[in-house]
Amino acid sequence: MIKTTMKAGRRLRAGTVLLMALGMAWVPAAVAADQGDADNYIELPGAGASARSSVGELMARIESGNSGSASIAAPAYVRPITLAQLEDHLRRPDVQASIGKGTIAVLYPNVDGQSRSAFTSMIQGIEERTRLRVRSYPVDPKVDTAELNAALKQNGTKVVIALGRQGLNATAGLDREITVLVGGVLLLTDTDNVAGISLTPDPALLFARLRALLPELRRVVVVYDPQKSDWLIKLARDAARAQGLELVSHVATDLSRAAQLYPQVIGAADSRRDALWLPHDSTTVEESTILPLVLRESWNSGVPVFSSNMLHVKKGALFAMAPNNVELGRTLASSALSVIAGENKRRSLTPLRELQTAINLRTASHMGLNLGHQQQRSFDFVFPQP
């Protein structure tokens, strides 16, 4: 009995020592992230040879029964935990990733202005989920993919999160052993054949918000180009059915046909039962001619228009949904950590579910919707701004 108790105590002390060591291995990375880094990256801990060596030495000491706990001063923030709690902690994907199973890298377009801010927010979300700064590489259109591939391999990269079309294009020459997840791209065709999250809002969330605003609605009308939005319309049909709505779709393969269709479909719509959806489709939702035409027809007829593009709300659409970039980054990071942990989940392209919502109160009032303060608070952005 005494021997059993001593063994259990030794296991508990060893487990505590291991967690303390891992905790101390994490601290320098976090501190460096706060201080800034001229190279603009910090590797996930444990991926380097020195980190693997130190963890290996510690495990050897634990196996031998000589944990050497007296020689390791516990920082103030480390609390003793049970062995069961330690084992649960070590099974987490992010911790497994930190013990030598590979690193995460982010490729993003080397651009300025608002676009760069969006990608920076995504990277922030990735780092918040991994609890570390990850290696991030700004890439230009003519990036040397061979040189990039060599740098990623040297740094033990297991997963690349490619942000934006430019980031995705830069992955063309990477080794097959590196898994690519994409985010921040309007992927509107099945031929892209990548895994990740599109910037296109999930129709299920769009239609749910529509029904909450206008419960009497029965039909959603959309004009789309099959070459760009066929995959999205397939999802939208199921999403509409789940909300008790009928999706009425019209095909336009060029700008001229779209310009002809919109006055017809809006003129035939019932303003009390129908709404027009503007998806991300550059053929049928062209900004300089089609959008003003649609918004004018909508205002005159009273048929509500909702959009997948936040900017359309400023111009007169009733409501729209747009990416929550930080949350998108967190979700992409979770997928990357799952890959590193060896989870063989089916990966595919999915619509965006990490969303913010905007409403145009002037348009709502024009259509007979008087939204109270509580309803307004359910939206992330309200236009016109006070």
Q: State pLDDT tens for residues 60-79.
A: 444 444 444 444 444 454 55
Residues 6+ apart with CB under 8 A from 191: none
Cα separation, 107 vs 164, in Å, equals 9
Among candidate residues 238, 109, 95, 130, the one with its CA nearest the CA of residue 183 = 109
Beta bridge partners of 307: 278, 320
Q: State pLDDT tens for residues 16-30.
A: 444 444 444 443 333
Q: State pLDDT tens for residues 28-65.
A: 333 333 434 434 333 333 344 444 444 444 444 444 44
Confirm whether 1-64+83-185+322-353 and 201-317+357-383 share one CATH topology.
Answer: yes
More confident residue, 135 or 11: 135
Backbone angles phi, psi at 279, to 5 degrees: -80, 175
Whole-number pLDDT of residue 173: 86
Q: Where are the domains of the chain?
A: 1-64+83-185+322-353, 201-317+357-383
State pTM to two decimals. Answer: 0.72
Whole-number pLDDT of residue 190: 53
Cα separation, 134 vs 160, in Å, equals 10
Residues counted in the chain: 386
Is the pLDDT confidence value at 303 over 70?
yes
Residue ranges of alpha helices (H) inside the chain are: 2-35, 49-64, 83-90, 93-96, 114-130, 145-154, 164-169, 203-213, 226-242, 255-268, 290-301, 311-315, 325-340, 361-366, 373-377
Among candidate residues 69, 48, 61, 93, the one with its CA nearest the CA of residue 336 = 93
**Hunting for tokens 């480390």 — which residue is that?**
78
- What average pLDDT is seen over the chain? 80
CA atoms within 13 A on the CB side of 260: 8
State yes or no: cis peptide before 384, omega within 30 of 0. yes
CA atoms within 13 A on the CB side of 51: 21
Percent of the chain with pLDDT over 70: 71
Whole-number pLDDT of residue 194: 80
Is the pLDDT confidence value at 152 over 90?
yes
Question: How many CB atoms are closer than 10 A to CB 30?
Answer: 14
Of 18-32, 183-197, 215-229, which one has max mean pLDDT? 215-229
| Class at the top of the CATH hierarchy for domain 1-64+83-185+322-353 | alpha beta
pLDDT confidence tier of residue 283, bands split at 50, 70 and 90 = very high
Q: State pLDDT tens for residues 319-366.
A: 999 999 999 999 999 999 998 888 866 667 889 999 999 999 999 999
Instruction: Write down the CATH superfamily of domain 201-317+357-383.
Output: Response regulator (3.40.50.2300)
Buried b (16+ CB within 10 A) or exposed e, 185-207: bebbeeebebbbbbbbbbbbbbb
Q: Which long-range contacts (CB under 8 A, 24 or more apart) does 110-113 make?
A: 110/138, 110/139, 110/140, 110/166, 111/164, 111/166
Whole-number pLDDT of residue 134: 87
